[in-house]
Structure 1
Amino acid sequence: MSERLGLSIRHHTGFTYDGLAKASYNEARMTPRSLSTQSVQTSKILVRPVIPVSTHVDYFGTVVTVFDIQENHPQLEVEATSQVESWAATLESPLGWSELRSERLTDRFSEFLLPTHRTTLVGTVEKEIEDWQNVADVHQCVEAASEYVRNEIAYVPGATTVSATAQEAWDRRKGVCQDITHVTIGLLRAMGIPARYVSGYLYPASEPTVGDVVEGQSHAWVEYFSGSWTGIDPTNGVRETERHIIVGHGRDYDDVAPLKGIYQGPASTQLGVVVEIRRTH
């Protein structure tokens, strides 16, 4: 694979209603941003029914598209398209444990050290945490924790719901990338390592062909602070690569849900998610 990867991404999602929704307010977090490992050439979000949208960057640095539909509508569709060039990050030498736990850094990253409802784990892996904390290199410690979670939790689509917590996935010992990410974040924070949730896309082809359209994935993985933010994908057992396209960061899934909102009307059903990715160069 080339050092730089050009990708064209299409992400389609939405809801259908058992009747007519009378009004809805929605936020979409489906737009990649230019960062140290990726450059966004173009991006666009289309909403049906067609209505004006506004865009801002939230507290955690994620692009948010906001739209308010006041007309009656039986269905809501959102499609995001983007052209991105990405490359793998360089793994930098980590801070030592004493500096990582200094008052300056614990205060700076308190939001990514405190457990949330989604990432809390109760009385499960204390012995493993003690062993990992004896590893001098923070990168190696994170790799050990990530591998442990990957071995303990089977990847089983449909085993959990989008509202599942780390504790629920841990108790069941199965889940999807969202669950594996939440559990890993919970363990890292318990060790005093700042960790945040990453939402984005994964280009699955290890040997991609230019021009081929493949079924991509909405994906989740972890970034931890070791002197700089460093990505690791516990679901796939790899570090963040050029095949990982970042959309958003947050404390957990609730901060980066691709599409969420409120509406007035009958029950709704998600249309499903389609992610298509084509390599451009």
Structure 2
Amino acid sequence: MLYDITHRTTYGYGSDVSVAHHLAHLHPRELPSQQISDFKLSVEPAPTVNTEHVDYYGNTTTFFTIGNPHDRLVATARSRVRITPPLLPNAARTLAWQQVRDRCASDVLTPDSEVGEFRFDSPNIARRPVLADYAAPSFPKDRPLLEAIVDFNGRIFRDFKFDSRATTVATPVDEVFKKRRGVCQDFAHLAIACLRSLGLPARYVSGYLETLPPPGKARLIGADASHAWFSVWCSGHGWIDADPTNNILPGDRHVTVAWGRDFSDVSPLRGVVVGGRGHSLGVSVDVARVAE
């Protein structure tokens, strides 16, 4: 599938900001199943500094500074991305989940132990025995890892309700677990916390999902939104994505932008400003399939 993606972020500050520094994770990643043919980030007012670099996790990031007084910021990222469905292994033939756990905890450097850093706590995710207990029914002894992940993904989908008013970007995993409701970011954090509590490496993925309108209805421009899911390490096959919000393993409708330990590593746009009186935020995302 070929997509044109527009992600527009608008900040209003109420009064002039004298200087602002921002870091953006808006450039989709190049992957075997994802190719980027075009990307442009435009910022109004024009930055006085604008640099691009690759972070620790391999994400392309943009740092920019606006050094002139302004009471409004508009950042618009436009991408053209081609997606092909990733090749997934036979779930029943993947290694038992405990074998993967033990390989990733080894003190001998291997591809498995190298990803072991994703087994530990991160700024927004803490391991808890109660989370290991919640995940445990999906992970009986010797169950193939991907079979367990598919089952676990479905349980979150069934047990938790999507509710955009139930949480904020700062809501902790413990509260999401208690409320049994939240949004895609919450469900990704919850899944990662559960898997890490079992000793498995898991990471947070940010990106986009093409949404389909109800039958007979036209697409609404800007109605799509940023999306989030998780990846788990599967020995011999690498990282495998899972989307608990929709109970699927992502295919050709998910666009990967960045990954890290949790949301704090991949926030689409964050920054520090001097001045202003509070602020308002508006985000519009459009994922449009391109006819070929």
User: Would you say the 8 A contact 1:100–1:226 is kept in 2?
Assistant: no
- Are 2:23 and 1:27 aligned? yes
Residue 199 of structure 1 corresponds to which residue in structure 2?
206
Partner of residue 129, structure 1: 135
Whether the 8 Å contact between 1:11 and 1:273 is mirrored in structure 2 is yes
Matches of 1:192 and 1:178, distance apart in 2: 21
Equivalent residue number for residue 229 of structure 1: 239
Out of 93, 110, 122, the residue aligned to residue 116 of structure 2 is 110
Quick check: 1:101 aligned with 2:98? Answer: no
1:277–1:132 CA distance, 2 compared to 1 (3 A): closer
Query: Which consecutive aligned stretches of 4+ in structure 1 deviate over 6 angstroms post-superposition?
Result: none
Q: Distance in 2 between matches of 1:193 and 1:127?
A: 14
Give the Å deviation of 1:125.
4.1
Cα deviation digits, residues 242-275 of structure 1 (max 9, x gap): 1000000000000000000111112332431101
Contact 2:132 2:198 (C-alpha < 8 Å) held by counterparts: no
User: 73-82 vs 139-148, which deviates more?
Assistant: 139-148
Residues 213 and 279, structure 1, Cα contact 8 Å, conserved in 2: no
**Which amino acid in the other structure matches residue 216 of structure 1?**
D
SS at 2:146 equivalent: helix
**Does residue 171 of structure 1 match 2:178?**
yes
CA 1:23–1:101: 2 relative to 1, 3 Å: same
Q: How far apart are residue 74 of structure 1 and its match?
A: 0.3
Contact residue 213 and residue 219 of structure 2 kept, 8 A: no
Deviates more, 1:234-243 or 1:88-97: 88-97
The alignment status of 1:10 with 2:12, answered yes or no, reads: no
Matching residue of 2:256: 246
- Once residues 187 and 126 of structure 1 are traced to their aligned partners in structure 2, the CA distance between those partners, rounded to angstroms, is 5
Maintained 8 Å contact 1:213/1:278: no
**Is the CA contact (8 Å cut-off) linking 1:118 and 1:165 kept in structure 2?**
yes
What is the one-letter code of the residue matched to 2:138?
W
Say whether 1:266 aligns with 2:276.
Answer: yes
Question: What is the CA distance between 1:107 and its match in structure 2?
Answer: 3.9
Quick one: percent identity of the two aligned structures?
Answer: 29
- Call closer, same or farther: CA 1:171–1:242 in 2, change over 3 Å: same
Name the structure 1 match of 2:81.
Answer: 84
Q: Structure 1 residues 40, 271: CA separation in 2 closer, same or farther (over 3 Å shift)?
A: same
Contact 2:131 2:197 in 1 (8 A): no
State the distance in 2 between where 1:127 and 1:196 align.
Answer: 20
| SS of the residue 2:126 aligns to | coil
**SS of 1:169 mapped into structure 2:** helix
* Matched AA of 1:98: Q
State the SS of the aligned residue for 2:52: strand
Post-superposition Cα deviations, 1:190-212, rounded to whole Å, max 9, x if no partner, equal 1222110000011012899xx97
Aligned residues: 276
**Any gaps of 5 or more consecutive residues in structure 1?**
none
| 112, 128, 142: which one aligns with 2:149 | 142
Q: What is the TM-score of this pair, normalised by structure 2?
A: 0.88
Q: Aligned partner of 1:237: which letter?
A: N
Gaps of 5+ in 2: none
SS of the residue aligned with 2:99? helix
Q: SS of 2:130's equivalent?
A: coil
